[in-house]
Amino acid sequence: MKVDSTLVNKLIDRVKRVKAALITGNSQEVLLEAGKAVEVGTRVLQSLIKGRYTPLNTSLKISKELNRLENHPNLLQKLKADINCFKFISLLRNFKAAHATEESEVQELDVKAVSAALEWAVTRLLEEAAPGKLKELRNIELPHPSIPAANATVQEKILLYLLSIYPEGSKAPEIAEKAEVSRSHTYKTLKSLKRRKLVKPTKEKLFALTESGYLRAQEIKCKLLEASTSPAQPNSMASPKG
């Protein structure tokens, strides 16, 4: 699929500007440039998802794409794979590998500083999804402070993000829409996170899984309501076996 090369060049230029801001040590400039980079990159992503990719493509498909394209030298292929993976956080953390011709330009980047700047920028994109929660958003680390970004699976990033941003029992429809993942994969991921003590057991209620195999907003809402009105039946929210 063809994407306007001018946009891609603008994206590369914005990444260079983030690097320059990091060198000067001006934190406000870093945040400003990171925000602009996100804006340009979002336009690139939008041009990509008009094709066979959709904004809420399933996590499982994206996970497979990431595995298949992990060492692919083409920037656009990497962009396609990163649509549901916090967009720019993954893109910039892997920028050197994704765009070999720019290696000399990005190898000196302070990864931690770039990550912090991009996490701030991404909160701007999330403002519509969680109005009134910006203060809380700015204080969370993505995907989770206990999981090194390089070691976290796409599934874990998405689930941990959702668990950290939404208080239990709220925004169920939005969670269902954003978490569009298979039942068995989600259950196994939650078990793994729980075993590693990264998710409290009660938070599993957020991801009550449907019989059809996909998260459905209405069913989650009903189960959450049932749990809140029937405290004497703690097993009513048990997760299905995956």
- pLDDT for 29 beyond 60: yes
**Alpha-carbon torsion angle 35, 40, 44, 46, nearest 10:** 70
Domain positions in the chain are 1-126, 139-242
Tell which wins on pLDDT, 200 or 138: 200
Could you tell me the end-to-end alpha-carbon distance of the chain, in angstroms, rounded to an integer? 37
pLDDT, tens digit, 9 for 90 and up, residues 175-207: 444 444 444 445 555 566 566 555 554 444 434
- What residues pair up with 182 in beta bridges, in sequence order? 214
What is the band of 233 on the pLDDT scale with cuts at 50, 70, 90? very low
Collapsing DSSP states into helix, strand and coil, what is residue 41?
helix
pLDDT at 17: 73
Tell which wins on pLDDT, 8 or 110: 8
State which of 41-50, 115-124, 187-196 shows the largest mean pLDDT.
187-196
Nearest to 61 by CA among 49, 73, 43: 49
- How many CB atoms are located within 10 Å of the residue 6 CB? 8
Q: Omega into 231 within 30° of 0, i.e. cis?
A: no
Report residue 173 as tokens: 């429809």
CA dist 104 → 3, 178, 194, 230 (Å): 24, 36, 41, 60
Collapsing DSSP states into helix, strand and coil, what is residue 128?
coil
Amino acid (one-letter) located at 91: L
